[in-house]
Structure 1
Amino acid sequence: MARTSPAEFVRQVRQEMNKVTWPTRKEATVSTIMVLIMVFVMMLFFLGIDSVFSWAIQYILGLGN
């Protein structure tokens, strides 16, 4: 593999950074809101699953009276 000088490396990095398409503020906001909604939905899902398993184990072990 050929070695590149630090100056050449910086030039290549700048060229690649110019190719990057950054999201707009609106796209970033919508994506953030969607992530927060999905986290909340998954939190409720795992809370429900955990509650069901907790109830089942207590029932099996006879701790539920």
Structure 2
Amino acid sequence: MAKTSPAQFVQQVRTEAKKVSWPSRKETTVSTIMVFVMVALASVFFFVVDQLLAWGVQLIFGVGG
């Protein structure tokens, strides 16, 4: 494999950076809100599942909680 000089490397990085399509402010905001909503939903789901499993263990074995 041929070695690349630092100058060539920087030029290649600049060329590749020009090809990047950055999201708009609106797309970023919507994506961020959706991430927070999904995290909240997952948190509620896992909390409910955890409570049900804890209740089941307590019911069966009489320990915990």
TM over 0.5, shorter chain: yes
Report what 2:7 is aligned to.
7
Percentage of pairs with the same residue = 56
Matched, 1:51 2:51: yes
TM-score of the pair, normalised by structure 1: 0.94
Structure with bigger RCO (C-alpha 8 Å, 6+ apart): 2
Instruction: For 1:14-29, list aligned pairs within 5 A.
Output: 14-29=14-29
Specify every segment of 5 or more residues in structure 1 that has no aligned partner in the other structure, as ranges: none
Deviations 1:8-61 (A, max 9, x none): 000000000000000000000000000000000000000000000000000111
Q: For 1:43, give the aligned amino acid.
A: S
Runs of 4+ displaced beyond 3 Å: none
Specify every segment of 5 or more residues in structure 2 that has no aligned partner in the other structure, as ranges: none
Please report the RMSD computed on the Cα atoms of aligned residues, expressed in angstroms.
1.2
Partner of 2:42, secondary structure, is: helix
Cα distance between partner residues in 1 of 2:16 and 2:30: 26
> How many residues of Structure 1 are paired with residues of Structure 2 in the alignment?
64
Cα distance between partner residues in 1 of 2:57 and 2:20: 52
